[in-house]
Amino acid sequence: MEIIWGNQLAEEVKADLRQKVDALKEQGKRLPVLAVVLVGDNPASQSYVRSKANACISVGMENKTIVLDGDISQEALLEKVKELNADPNIDGILVQLPLPKHLDADSVIMAIDPNKDVDGLHPVNAGNLLTGRDGFVPCTPLGIMYMLKSVGYEDLAGKTAVVCGRSNLVGKPVALLLQNQNATVTIVHSKTPHIEEICSQADILVVAMGKEKMVKANWVKEGAVVIDVGINRMENGKLCGDVDFEDVKAKTKAITPVPKGVGPMTVCMLLSNTYRAYQIHERG
Ligand code: GUN
């Protein structure tokens, strides 16, 4: 059994980006800039936004964190997004979700320039992924594919993959990426009967359900690679995933931990998408 340490893999990706940014600096060029919009004072969102800003700094990219009042109007938020779209010095735009209840996240996502949509959430980018075109792919799915590659799972022909969860941010895009790599993919979700039986057929099991330690040993095929996207805070204050790591690990070929698993990969893929957005803008 191998533990896939996302924090270590993330350092590899960041070292590569740092070199690329250093080269830009040496050539006296403009540096990539990521704008992160935080609306309100949700503590979890504040912490995620901080870690995104710190990650930018750690590779020498620039970060512009825009904190807006929790009671901002929909119109004012859309105006802010338009301003960032029009700003030639901004490469990537990320609006931290969830937004306060009075705001409509969908129309905010729709307002982001698809060429700056480093979250890959705009329907143009979602459609590009669906139809096999180039575009921005959401960061967590990109990180998951990188983790699979790190254990030699790249061409997935002949492998069955089961994705638990059907969100636009994780479940749906990761299923498409797995399929692009020739895996035979099944998506299951909270309303799927016999979910554990279906999961127990998977050579690759990706779990993004948001349910603390839901996946037990009987859900897992002997020798499976298990990717745990969940981040749940237990009553004792510690973090855990959607997979019961201790129960499952002995059965797996490889498994991601929580914390230090998928989370750090998501953040570094955001940097990688920002660098890509920069390249697109510089090419004009
Ligand atoms: N909230 C939790 N994860 C994410 C993410 O990847 N992007 C955005 N915009 N908000 C999030």
> pLDDT for 84-109, tens place per residue?
999 999 999 999 999 999 999 999 99
Give the active site residues. Answer: 52, 96, 119
Angle at 175 between CA 174 and CA 176, to 5 degrees: 90
Contact 115, 125 (CB under 8 A): no
Q: What is the pLDDT of residues 22-76, one digit of tens each?
A: 999 999 999 999 999 999 999 999 999 999 999 999 999 999 999 999 999 999 9
| Mean model confidence pLDDT for the chain | 97
Residue 137 C-alpha to ligand 1 middle, in angstroms?
Answer: 13
What is the per-residue pLDDT across 251-272, written as a single tens digit (0 to 9) for each?
999 999 999 999 999 999 999 9
Q: What is the mean pLDDT of residues 1-20?
A: 98
User: Is the minimum distance from the CB of 273 to ligand 1 under 6 angstroms?
Assistant: no
How is residue 253 written in tokens? 């070929």
pLDDT in tens, 227-254: 999 999 999 999 999 999 999 999 999 9
Please name the residue whose Cα sits nearest to atom 2 of ligand 1: 97
Q: What are the pLDDT digits (tens) for 216-225?
A: 999 999 999 9
Nearest to 212 by CA among 163, 180, 245, 168: 245
Residue 158, pLDDT above cutoff 90: yes
Average the pLDDT over 131-138 and give the result. 97
**Percentage of the chain modeled with pLDDT above 90:** 99
pTM of the model: 0.96
Q: Angle at the Cα of 255 (from 249 to 257), degrees rounded to 5?
A: 95
Question: Can you give the length of the chain in residues?
Answer: 284
Q: Find the 27 Cα to ligand 1 centroid distance in Å.
A: 33
Q: Is the CB of 94 under 6 A from ligand 1?
A: yes
Nearest CA to ligand 1 atom 3: 97
Q: How far is CA 41 from CA 48, 71, 247, in A?
A: 12, 11, 36
In the structure, what pLDDT confidence band is assigned to residue 284 with cuts at 50, 70 and 90? confident
Q: Is 139 in the pocket of ligand 1 (CB under 6 A)?
A: yes
Beta bridge partners of 207: 164, 228
CA of residue 96 to ligand 1 center, whole Å: 5
Instruction: Give the DSSP per-residue string, 132-200.
Output: T------HHHHHHHHHHHHTT----TT-EEEEE---TTTHHHHHHHHHHTT-EEEEE-TT-TTHHHHHT
Backbone angles phi, psi at 220, to 5 degrees: -115, 130
Q: Which two structure tokens, joined as six digits, stand for 198?
A: 């279906």
DSSP 90: -
Q: How far is the CA of 157 from the centre of ligand 1 (A)?
A: 31
Q: Pick from 142, 128, 121: which is nearest to 266 by CA?
A: 142
For ligand 1, atom 4: residue with the closest CA: 97
Which numbered atom of ligand 1 lies nearest the CA of 266? 6
